[in-house]
Amino acid sequence: MTMARPTPASRTTLRVLRFDRVQRGAHWANALLFAILILTAIPLYFGSFFGVVLERHTVQEVHLWSGLALPLPLIVSVIGPWGRRMRRDVTRFNYWTRDEVRWLRTLGRSELEAEKFNPGQKLNAIFVAASIAVMLVTGAMLQWFHFFPVSLRVGATFVHDVFSFALTLVIVGHIYMALTRGTLRSMIDGTVSDDWVKRHAPQWLPVTDTEHTPPRQPPLS
Amino acid sequence: MGRRAFLSIIALGALGVTVGSKVQNFLGNSVGTGFGGLLPFGDRFRIYSITGNYPSISRRKYRLEVTGLVERPTVYTLSDLEAMPATAFKKTFQCVTGWKVPDVEWRGVQLSHLLDLAGVKPGAVALTFESYDGADTESLTLDQAHLPDVLVAYEMLGAPVTLEHGGPVRLYVAQMFGYKSLKWLSAIRVVDRVEPGYWEQNGYPVNGWLDGSTGPTNPTPGLT
């Protein structure tokens, strides 16, 4: 005896690969390092407000080595034959259409048919990548301070602090978006639904991820 | 466009490094010390502790030992120190890693006064300072110790030195980087050679002059 009920097939939709293993690995390695850096930064920065758990020296060493390792996931994921998709996505961050620029200017209120990444996501990637470079250089200046005059050390401290505040805010925003917009799964199993692509990235042709072709709309600059 | 944004952010960082000290001074003056003191915009203390704890010593139980190559080894209480001629001035606290807090009010006894009371024996060359945290040590040569702006300080920022700033009593060496101003001062030993302290053993210069030189920029600093 069988009963009529919806078959599982009617609920499953086509899944599209958004991030491959290399990209997900790089992302989570990056996320782990950022988590360690932020957690160790708290007692280093707000020392006066928190009962300290570990020796400052230990916290400092963990912060230092995590910081030095920070660019590695990105670099490793972008080089070599395994980095094809990653390289393809990096070139995407550099392509901006007129519509995208307008979308950014109007803070997301103008019409936009996004490609794989919307302007906010692109900006997030660009900001985080640039900040990694800035944090690495200023952090190194604080660690190996005796090569620099005091005024530059003051400047490096200032920049390191300001960027760490900005980065933390951006990361919190990034996590919030991932949790509320249903894109977290694409960083876990790598896929998004067909339906998601239609709604959030209608201009994206997933097949282009493995080809060296420019996006369909011509680049702005 | 993406590359331009990327490079702009990096350029902003580089600009911040070069003019950051001026920007910070300006913002520090406009933001003030209250809540703004938590933000990186402005001058604020970063509290460092080697051990991860602050050694808690009550003002009543506090003792400072002056010992070593001296005629009269002595143990002082806090009220002993407070009864001595006091020296007060406003000076910058400058950390070797870059942050600073300008115009900090300091009050205490000149280290040279304590040395005079103890009577330094011939053959003495330097001082070793010990901390109640059990980890930090510092050194000064006798010449450096006699600078008029080297204080055994019991007031800082207009109030008794707080625990996190090294209270009840800390050292303040105005013309050197902050690590020379040992916190939770427990003992001053007069010795016959410079014994590099904790931070010096970790790579910091033994003579932590603010201008990085081999001597003070201003041998007779004005006291207020």
In this prediction the pTM is 0.71
Residue in B closest to A128 by C-alpha: B6
Q: Which residue of A has its CA nearest to B208?
A: A146
Cβ of A55 within 8 Å of Cβ of B100? The answer is no
CA-closest candidate to residue A71, choices A132, A160, A126, A134: A132
Q: What pLDDT score does A111 carry? A: 78
What pLDDT was estimated at residue B73? Answer: 95
Q: Which of A29, A30, A21 is CA-nearest to residue A131?
A: A30
Going by CATH, does the domain composed of B50-201 fall within 2.40.50.140? Answer: no
CB-CB under 8 Å, B40 with A162: yes
pLDDT averaged over consecutive 10-residue blocks of chain A (221 residues)?
48 79 94 95 70 68 94 93 90 87 82 84 92 95 82 86 92 91 85 86 78 53 51
Yes or no, beta carbons of B1 and A101 under 8 Å apart = yes
Where do the structural domains in chain B lie, given as residue ranges?
Answer: 1-44, 50-201
B72-114 pLDDT, tens digit each:
999 999 999 999 999 999 998 888 877 778 889 999 999 999 9
A213 inside domain:
no
Domain count, chain A: 1
User: Does B35 lie at the interface with A, CB-CB under 8 angstroms?
Assistant: no
| A47 neighbourhood in chain B, CB within 8 Å | 46-49, 164
- Residues of B in Cβ contact (< 8 Å) with A96: 1-2
Contact A55 B52 (CB under 8 A): yes
A1 in a structural domain = no
Amino acid identity of B153?
A
Contact status of B119 with chain A (Cβ, < 8 Å): no
**Cα-based distances in Å from B150 to A38, A89, A188, B198:** 37, 59, 59, 19
Q: Do A159 and B16 touch (CB under 8 A)?
A: yes
Residues of chain B contacting residue A149, judged by C-beta atoms under 8 Å apart:
212
Provide the residue type at A196 as one letter.
W
Q: Which of A66, A121, A68, A114 is nearest to A90 (CA)?
A: A121
pLDDT of residue A166: 93
CA B165 to chain A, closest CA, distance in angstroms equals 9
- Kindly state whether B159 is in contact with chain A, defined as any CB-CB distance less than 8 angstroms: no
Q: Which helix (H) or strand (E) holds B28?
A: helix B2-31
- Tell me what pLDDT residue B90 has: 92
C-beta neighbour count of B58 within 10 angstroms: 8
**pLDDT of the residue at A220:** 56
Closest-CA distance, B52 to chain A, in angstroms, reads 4
- Residue type, position A214, single letter: P
Ranges under pLDDT 50 in chain B: 32-36, 214-224
Burial class from Cβ neighbours inside 10 Å (0-12, 13-18, 19+) for residue B95 reads: buried
- The residue of B43, B92, B97 whose CB has the most chain A CBs within 10 angstroms, and thus the best one to mutate to test that interface, is B97
pLDDT of the residue at A194: 85
Residues of B within 8 A of A56 (CB-CB) are: 48-52
Q: What is the pLDDT of residue B182?
A: 94
Q: With an 8 Å Cβ cutoff, are A154 and B99 in contact?
A: yes
Helix (H) or strand (E) holding B7: helix B2-31
- The neighbour count for residue B64, using CB atoms within 10 Å, is 21
DSSP state of B121: P
Question: Residue A51's closest chain B neighbor by CA?
Answer: B53
Q: What is the pLDDT of residue A144?
A: 85
Q: Which of the residues B10, B24, B27, B47 would you substitute to probe the A interface, choosing the one with the greatest number of A C-beta atoms within 10 Å?
A: B47
Q: Flag whether A83 is in a domain.
A: yes
Look up the CATH number of the domain holding residue A96.
1.20.950.20
Note whether B10 contacts A: Cβ–Cβ < 8 A.
yes
- Could you tell me if residue A9 is inside a domain? no
Nearest CB to B20 within list A53, A159, A220: A159
Q: Cβ(B45)–Cβ(B166) under 8 Å? A: no
**Does residue A176 form part of some domain?**
yes
What per-residue confidence (pLDDT) applies to A110?
Answer: 77
Contact B10 A134 (CB under 8 A): yes
DSSP state letters, B63-114: EEEEEESBSS-EEEEHHHHHHSPPEEEEEEEE-TTS-EEEEEEEEEEEHHHH
Residue A178 lies in a domain: yes
Residue A28: which region, alpha, beta or left (left: phi > 0; alpha: psi -120 to 50)? alpha
Q: Which residues of B touch A54 (CB under 8 A)?
A: 52
Residue B63 is predicted with a pLDDT of: 96
- The domain in which residue A190 lies consists of 17-45+53-208
Question: SS3 string of chain A?
Answer: CCCCCCCHHHHCCCEEECCCHHHHHHHHHHHHHHHHHHHHHHHHHCCCCCCCCCCHHHHHHHHHHHHHHCHHHHHHHHCCHHHHHHHHHHHHHHCCCHHHHHHHHCCCCCCCCCCCCCHHHHHHHHHHHHHHHHHHHHHHHHHCHHHCCHHHHHHHHHHHHHHHHHHHHHHHHHHHHHHHCCCHHHHCCCEEEHHHHHHHCCCCCHHHHHCCCCCCCCCCC
Minimum-distance CB partner of B52 among A56, A96, A145: A56
Whether chain A has a CB inside 8 Å of the CB on B45: the answer is yes
